[in-house]
Amino acid sequence: MKKLTSRIDKERLLLGIAAPLLAVVAALVVTTLVILATGKNPFDAFSDMVTYGSASDSQVYILNKATTYYLAGVAVAIGFRMNLFNIGVDGQYRLAAFVAAVLGGALSAPGWIAVPLIILCAMATGALWAAVAGVLKVTRGVSEVIATIMLNSIATAIIAYLLQPGKLGELQQGGTLVSTKPLPTSSYFFTIDAGPAGELWGFIVVAVIVGVAYWFLLGRTRFGFDLRTVGQSESAAAASGVSVKKMIATSMVISGAVAGLIGMPTLLNDSHQFSNDFPAGIGFTGIAIALLGRNHPIGIALGALLWGFLERTTNHLEFQGYDKEILGVIQGVIVLCVVIAYEVVRRYGLKRQQQRVGAELAAQALAPQTKQEVAG
pLDDT tens for 282-322 read: 999 999 899 888 888 998 999 999 999 988 988 888 777 77
Using alpha carbons, select from 259, 252, 256, 215 the residue that is nearest to residue 231: 252
Largest CA distance in the chain: 101
pLDDT digits (tens, 9 = 90+) for 60-115: 999 999 999 999 999 999 999 988 999 999 999 999 999 999 999 999 899 999 99
> What CA–CA distance (Å, rounded) separates 119 from 125?
10
User: Rounded CA gap, 100 and 265, in Å?
Assistant: 12
d(CA 330, CA 28): 9
294: left (phi over 0), alpha (psi -120 to 50) or beta: left
Work out the average pLDDT over 16-38: 79
102 and 180 in contact (C-beta within 8 Å)?
Answer: yes
User: What spatial distance separates the first Cα and last Cα of the chain, rounded to whole Å?
Assistant: 28
State the pTM of this model: 0.89
Closest CA to 84 of 152, 148, 129, 127: 148
Residue 336: its pLDDT value, please? 81
DSSP 169: B
Tell me the H-state helices in 107-261: 111-140, 144-162, 203-220, 222-232, 234-239, 244-259
User: Which pLDDT belongs to residue 60?
Assistant: 96
State how far the Cα of 247 lies from the Cα of 323, in Å rounded to an integer.
Answer: 46
Of all residues in the chain, the percent with pLDDT exceeding 70 is 92
β-pairing, 191-193 with 177-179?
unpaired
Give residues with Cβ within 8 angstroms of 181, minimum separation 6.
Answer: 102, 105, 106, 170, 273
| 177-179 and 170-172 strand pairing | antiparallel
By CB neighbour count within 10 A (0-12 exposed, 13-18 middle, 19+ buried), where does 65 fall?
buried
Backbone angles phi, psi at 365, to 5 degrees: -70, -35
CA dist., res. 86 & res. 134, Å (int): 10
Instruction: Point out the least confidently predicted range of 11-15, 60-64, 116-120, 258-262.
Output: 11-15
**pLDDT for 326:** 76
The helix/strand/coil state of 59 is: helix
CA 119 to chain centre: 19
Please report the pLDDT score of residue 62 as a whole number: 96
State the Cα–Cα distance between residues 182 and 180, nearest whole angstrom.
6
Residue-wise pLDDT tens digits, 259-276: 999 999 999 999 999 999
User: What does the alpha-carbon distance between residue 267 and residue 278 come to, in Å, rounded to a whole number?
Assistant: 9
**For residues 259 and 92, is the Cβ–Cβ distance under 8 A?**
yes
